[in-house]
Structure 1
Amino acid sequence: MVQTSVSMALKAYSLGWKCATPLLKLNSRLRDGWEQRTLSGGLPAPAHIWMQAASGGEAYLAWEVLKNLKSPFSESLRVLVTTNTLQGYETLFRAADDINGRKTGLAIQPWYFPFDDPDLMDRVVDHVRPKLALILETELWPGFLSACKKSEVNILLANGRMSTKSLAGYLTWPDLFRAVSPNTIMAVSEADGRRFGTLFGREKVWVMPNIKFDRMADAAPMARKNNPLKKLISPKSTFTVFGSVRRQEELEVTKLAAGLMRERPTTILGLFPRHMHHMKIWETAMNSAGLNWIHRSRLNGPALPGTVILWDAFGELVPAYGLAQAAFVGGSLAPLGGQNFLEPLTCGVTPVTGPHWKNFAWVGKDIFDSGLTVEAKDWQAAQNALISILDKTPARRNVAKLAKEYIADHKGGAKAVCKQVADFLNKD
């Protein structure tokens, strides 16, 4: 009965893909790599491992795993690494150049992840013939998983994350996902592990260190002389960064900005929206609070004290943390899961975050208990914490040193994954 239900579900799923594929070409983001996504330009080369990294963030995790991977064979270990996005593909391409150039016995082939039509996936899995499918974070594509099961390919899901919302979605089709379940799941926290266990069975799940700690192990403060933003912020200025703030917390962040500027009127505030297309919202918010602001793109010299800089340039958040005395990390004053508070910490700044940071539960509660990061219950508590840090700013070098020690104690995820990969490959 269950087998029939799963078979019918996959047939319906395949029909949906066949109907949708012609329309998907209208999506500008999917045109990149179209021939690889549809296999119309040919097939990837056979590989021992097929590693799937959904987008840019997961692609960097894949790179970290590849650095630690070793061939258990006399021949080169062939790895097909796929992704769904242009950013991910560009990252994997750089990773392939790096790893192949090291001549460590690995041969890396980057590729776009084919559309998940089960017929398409059966074809490509049958051609690639991997011994292991390694999925990073949470990429539960039924067509891919089903094709791996048919070809008796072992499936390892590593650095796994599973939100309550995602679990609810998968449980609307439980028989299907249980039928194509990974052999082993390595979750990044006990909470994630429990959710995976609810879907797939707890006996398949164990907890690992997050590979993101490995990625940050070498992070260190940037010397001012090397900082590309040094001409915008005078060394005599007090500079505070609001990093990756979200439109859903606009009211709280605006109150926080206004309160901070009222209490410390000579502070320069760099406000970085998480999504640049919401810049107009922040312009309106700053106007409503009566704050003086300027776009980063119009700033040609040192910012004046008492100015809010609305950062309309990409890729400058980390250098800004490198010049700041204090930082608030957004996505945390509304139930949005929070943003990365490890970034300012590795730059030598004690970060302040709101109460909503469940997306980073893998970092561990002890980071707050140790005082490395401050959790504020609301915008007023965040304001008080920022003022306290500005009044008595810890030495950047000391903060960075403690952060490095914390990260060193929690890294090891990439090596744990590689050990599990070796165990699977050596089974045959």
Structure 2
Amino acid sequence: MALKAYGLGWKCATPFLKLNSRLKEGWGQRTLTDGLPAPAHIWMQAASGGEAYLAWEVLKNLKSPFSESLRVLVTTNTLQGYETLTRAANDINGRKSGLAIQPWYFPFDDPVLMHRMVCQIRPQLALILETEIWPGFLNACKKSGVNILLANGRMSTKSLAGYLTWPGLFRDLSPDTVMAISEADGRRFGTLFGREKVWIMPNIKFDRMADAAPMDRNNNPLKDIIPQNSTFTVFGSVRRQEEAEITKLAAGLMRKRPKTILGLFPRHMHHMEIWETAMNSAGLNWTHRSRLNGPAEPGTVVLWDAFGELVPAYGLAQAAFVGGSLAPLGGQNFLEPLTCGVTPVTGPHWKNFAWVGRDIFESGLAVEAQDWQSAQNALLSILDKAADRRSIAKQAREYIEDRRGGAKAVCKRVADFFNKD
């Protein structure tokens, strides 16, 4: 009855979903009106861009257990994810024998659509990355006898509470195996699906960071924007919900270090007007990145309205604050500046990156500030120390190296499944 009601909800909602600009991309694949993908041994689901990169790591380590190629259908829900999976497929199909990768948009979870998709694909294994618990998908796999592996799994207390409103349904649809990234996540999955199904694994995200290193200034695309001897501080991925705190932090830092160039990178570019208003209210001198045809002037806040330049900016910064963390938003990736050789400062709200481990703060590789004032003090201290970038990056690589192995662990579990007979 629950699945029938769920399917009815999808049928009512689907005509309206086409009005969503993000869902219009790949509509024919989402609704199966543009045909169906080829059959595959494995159906791997990677929700969005972040999970797509994890899928890429798994695919790089995956080997065919057959004399023929191992066929893998990799699906995603977003345009960014699809573009990433397409690059992964082009990379692996072109250089690695034994694998045939096909990217596709994840269909809407209408049980009828999912049943049709599974019957076409005929996968032997469904591999779900992180927490993609779609009832229509899981039900279709269960009905067709497809084994389900959920890997790199994470589950918050809030998510668990939501699933436990209908525990019988999710117990019936549970994956055959769950590989969780921490003991805490494992306990939550065990509460929902049964502890006997849960294993603990290293987070694949550490595998992704393994080759990260400081970028040589001569190769940095921003070298002409940030003068070599300037003091440059980055506020990365700041969110509108923390605008008041970030504005105080920016004003305080510029007051203490008036010759600093401050690069402020909004997490969402369409909120740029919020930051323009905020800088005006604080009386700060600012400009847009797009207006810079030469070096930024000392004492300027640069509102970064260009995509794809945050990591190069970290590569030139002496100090960095990572946003999404002064309000209860879960935080943003503070490993990025660290692997560029910059000690990152983050606020107290970083639960989305709890997988990194508190050891990173206890070791001094990163700084956890409790509010904007302590964040300011930490940034000033880092600027005063002028620490060696190569040394910081080396310590970061050592920290990451000790925590790698997630992709290989997943591939071993996949190999064990195909070799079990």
**Coarse TM-score class (shorter-chain normalised):** over 0.9
Aligned partner of 1:45 among 26, 38, 41: 38
Give the drift of 1:123.
Answer: 1.4
Q: Which residue of 1 aligns with 2:202?
A: 209
Kindly indicate whether residue 188 of structure 2 is the aligned counterpart of residue 198 of structure 1. Answer: no
Aligned partner of 2:330 in structure 1 is: 337
Alignment of 1:2-401 (within 5 A): 8-401=1-394
Deviation at 1:300, TM superposition (A): 1.4
Q: Distance in 2 between matches of 1:284 and 1:35?
A: 41
Per-residue deviation, 1:168 = 2.1
C-alpha distance in 2, partners of 1:227/1:173?
52
Distance in 1 between residues matched to 2:420 and 2:107, nearest whole Å: 28
How far is 1:103 from its partner?
3.4
Asked if structure 2 preserves the Cα contact closer than 8 Å seen for 1:189 and 1:361, the reply is: no
1:3 corresponds in structure 2 to none
Paired with 1:80 and 1:293, the residues of 2 have a C-alpha distance of: 47
> Letter of the aligned partner of 1:172 in structure 2?
T
TM-score w.r.t. the length of structure 1 is: 0.96
Distance 2:184 2:232 in 1: 37
Residues matched between the structures, number = 421
2:30 is matched by which residue type in structure 1? R
Q: CA deviation digits over 1:269-322, x for unaligned, max 9?
A: 111111111111111111111111111111111111111111111111001000
Instruction: Say if 2:411 is the partner of 1:418.
Output: yes
Give the distance between the partners of 1:180 and 1:195, measured in 2 at CA. 16
Counterpart in the other structure of 1:4: none
Structure 2 residue matching 1:108: 3-state secondary structure: strand
Alignment deviations for residues 174-203 of structure 1 (CA, whole Å, 9 cap, x no partner): 221111000111111222222212211222
User: Whole-Å Cα distance in 2 between the matches of residues 167 and 290 of structure 1?
Assistant: 45
- Can you list the C-alpha shifts for 1:327-360, whole angstroms capped at 9, x where unaligned? 0011111111111000000101000111111110
Q: Deviations over 1:3-61 (max 9, x none)?
A: xxxxx000111111112222222222222222211112222111110000111111111
Large movers: runs of 4+ above 3 Å: none
Q: Which amino acid letter does the alignment assign opposite residue 284 of structure 1?
A: T
- Matches of 1:341 and 1:37, distance apart in 2: 34
- SS of structure 1 residue aligned to 2:402: helix
Instruction: Kindly state the Cα deviation for residue 173 of structure 1 after the two structures are TM-superposed.
Output: 2.1
Q: Given residue 394 of structure 1, which amino acid in structure 2 is its aligned partner?
A: A
Q: Deviations over 1:181-236 (max 9, x none)?
A: 00111111222222212211222112211111111100111111111111111011
Report which stretch shifted further, 317-326 or 200-209.
Answer: 200-209
Amino acid at match of 1:346: T
Greater shift, 281-290 or 222-231, is seen at 281-290
Task: Specify the SS of the correspondent of 2:94.
Answer: helix
Query: In structure 2, how many angstroms separate the alpha carbons of the residues matched to 1:35 and 1:334?
Result: 39
2:137 maps to amino acid: F
Whole-Å separation in 2 of the counterparts to 1:263 and 1:404: 32
TM-score of the pair, normalised by structure 2 = 0.98
Distance in 2 between residues matched to 1:202 and 1:265, nearest whole Å? 56
RMSD: 1.1
Using the TM superposition, name which of 194-203 and 350-359 deviates more.
194-203
Contact 1:49 1:132 in 2 (8 A): yes
Q: How far is the alpha carbon of 1:73 from its aligned partner?
A: 1.2
Query: Residue type matched to 1:328 in 2?
Result: F
Structure 2: runs of 5 or more not aligned: none
The CA deviation string for residues 390-424 of structure 1, in whole angstroms up to 9 with x for no partner, is: 01121111111111111111111000000111111
Partner Cα distance (1:378, 1:23) in 2: 42
Counterpart-to-counterpart distance in 2, 1:165 and 1:278: 27
- Distance in 2 between the 1:339 and 1:89 partners? 22
Give the Cα separation in 2 of the matches to 1:276 and 1:95. 26
Provide the rounded CA distance (Å) in 2 between the counterparts of 1:59 and 1:285: 35
Distance 1:31 1:379 in 2: 40
Identity of aligned residues (%): 86
Which consecutive unaligned segments of at least 5 residues does structure 1 have? 1-7
Cα distance per residue 1:85-115 (max 9 Å; x no partner): 1111111111111111123201111111111
Deviation at residue 427 of structure 1 after TM alignment: 2.4
Query: Which amino acid is 1:316 matched to?
Result: E
